[in-house]
Copies of this chain bind each other. A is one copy, B any other.
Amino acid sequence: MSRDSLKLAIIGGGSSYTPELVEGVLKRLTSLPVKQIHFVDIEEGKEKLDIIYGLAKRMIAKVGADIEVTADCDRRAAIKGADFVMTQFRVGGLAARANDEKIPLKYDVIGQETTGPGGFAKALRTIPVILDICRDIEELSPNAWMLNFTNPAGLVSEAVNKYTKVKNIGLCNVPVSMQMMIADMMDCQPNEVQLEFAGLNHLVWVHKAWLNGEDITHTVLEKVGDGANFSMKNIWEEPWDPTFLKALNAIPCPYHRYFYQTDAMLAEEKLSAAEKGTRAEQVMQTESELFELYQQPSLDHKPSQLEERGGAYYSDASLNLVDAIYNNRNSLHVVNVPNNGAINGLPDDAVIECTAVVGSWGAKPLAVGELSPNVKGLLHQVKAYEQLTIEAAVHGSYEQGLMALANNPLVPDIGRAKSIFDEILQQNRHYLPQFTLTHL
């Protein structure tokens, strides 16, 4: 890594989140000498990319930073010479996401972007593309770090780690949000609470929490049970049953509602979809408004409206990682990396989400050993689903895809698994060339 100038390549640069990332870079200029940012996107995203480019230029100009910005569709040029490749693209866009959310609902199954059949469909579309990007990195910038926050981030990172040589860390804004909300509950600073995170992306638990050396796990669970804010903007905040939380004896993440409170979450999804359209359809509206805003020539900073979208802290989390690696901080971050023994009973190459030390040597997970039987079953069930999904995505295997869905705990029956899978294949056929659709 060069010691005095850094190049960032942003794959999916036309995302509405990008202004937050630019802001993050500008906030860290003293510690991170970013000199080049190359935003790249596909042809269909060219218009948005241009808007982002304009806004980024104005934001940089405002603070007078010495950063060269490029925005085009030349992915290989973006990757060449990059120190960090950040991926935040969405294959098929929000229209594909809307399908991911709608199809399962027809079968009375949770329809959600990253978990359940929706996350499965997204993984099938995304994995071939990210592996393709990795081939470029292997060739053009083999020492670059890929920071992946393309969902489903755990699955995608595991695919990258299993099928490429790229140095990769997966990232999510859920753990950092949990840390902030727990600090709020305890009326302290986020860095004062210590949280033993371990699980999978969007299925991560805090197994134990400390403040000043004292175990505060039960206190936090009581506060969550009493209704303390503990959700993400994009997830319905179904209240938690205090008795259940006490029995669980671990702090669930907001996404666990889909697995534990399936009935209520499904009911809300169906109601909401009927009234307001699915989440994707709502987001389309928000995005459209955001890009309207972004192209105003007078706008030269991240607008506050962006924070409404639910992806808060993403750019902070990712630029903190860049900082930890570049400046060798050996600081603690919650990341998606190969298990390597951190959680007993999972394979070494299974990507988990856990607390890790991050420095110029990469991310080293903290060992948590044996997890409680309270959580092990669900962990293994979802990991099996993930492993099978990766194989299905890479090899275009109908059988592994069907087994993946059959193993997903949100899909209660193989009949529904098959119907949903067939409809996913049908609706996504342009994005799933790896599958031969003779099954349909």
A-to-B contact residues, CB < 8 Å? 1, 3, 143, 192, 194, 196, 208, 210, 212-213, 241, 243-244, 246-249, 260-264, 325, 328, 330-332, 339-345, 348, 355, 357, 359-362, 364-370, 373-374, 376-385, 387-388, 398-400, 402-403, 406-407, 409, 412-416, 418, 439
On chain B, the residues within 8 Å of A194 by CB distance are 328, 330, 359-361
Q: Are B263 and A413 in contact (CB under 8 A)?
A: yes
Q: Are B213 and A360 in contact (CB under 8 A)?
A: yes
Q: Are A406 and B328 in contact (CB under 8 A)?
A: no
Q: Which 7 residue pairs of A and B lie closest in terms of their CB atoms, listed nearest first?
A: A377-B384, A380-B380, A340-B369, A377-B381, A247-B399, A213-B360, A342-B367
Q: Are A248 and B330 in contact (CB under 8 A)?
A: no
**Complex alpha-carbon distance, A403 and B205, angstroms:** 15
With A360-B212, A376-B384 known to touch, is A263 a contact of B415 (CB < 8 Å)?
Answer: yes
With A345-B345, A367-B367, A376-B380 known to touch, is A263 a contact of B416 (CB < 8 Å)?
Answer: yes
On chain B, the residues within 8 Å of A416 by CB distance are 263
18 additional contacts (CB under 8 A) given A341-B367, A357-B366: A194-B328, A196-B364, A213-B361, A244-B418, A246-B399, A247-B399, A248-B406, A262-B412, A263-B416, A340-B368, A341-B342, A341-B368, A348-B369, A374-B407, A377-B383, A377-B407, A378-B384, A378-B407
On chain B, the residues within 8 Å of A246 by CB distance are 399
**Complex alpha-carbon distance, A361 and B197, angstroms:** 13
Q: Give the contacting residue for A243; candidates B357, B377, B402; CB below 8 A.
A: B402
On chain B, the residues within 8 Å of A415 by CB distance are 241, 261, 263-264
**Complex alpha-carbon distance, A216 and B226, angstroms:** 52
Nearest-Cβ distance from residue A413 to partner chain B, whole angstroms? 4
Q: Are A377 and B374 in contact (CB under 8 A)?
A: no
**Complex alpha-carbon distance, A1 and B214, angstroms:** 9
**Complex alpha-carbon distance, A264 and B416, angstroms:** 11
On chain B, the residues within 8 Å of A365 by CB distance are 366-367
Q: Are B374 and A388 in contact (CB under 8 A)?
A: yes
**Complex alpha-carbon distance, A374 and B355, angstroms:** 29
On chain B, the residues within 8 Å of A380 by CB distance are 376-377, 379-381
Can you show 29 pairs from A to B with CB atoms below 8 A apart? Answer: A194-B360, A196-B361, A213-B328, A213-B360, A241-B418, A243-B399, A243-B402, A247-B402, A247-B403, A247-B406, A248-B406, A249-B399, A262-B412, A264-B413, A330-B332, A339-B367, A340-B367, A341-B368, A342-B342, A366-B367, A373-B384, A373-B387, A376-B380, A377-B380, A377-B383, A377-B384, A377-B385, A380-B380, A380-B381
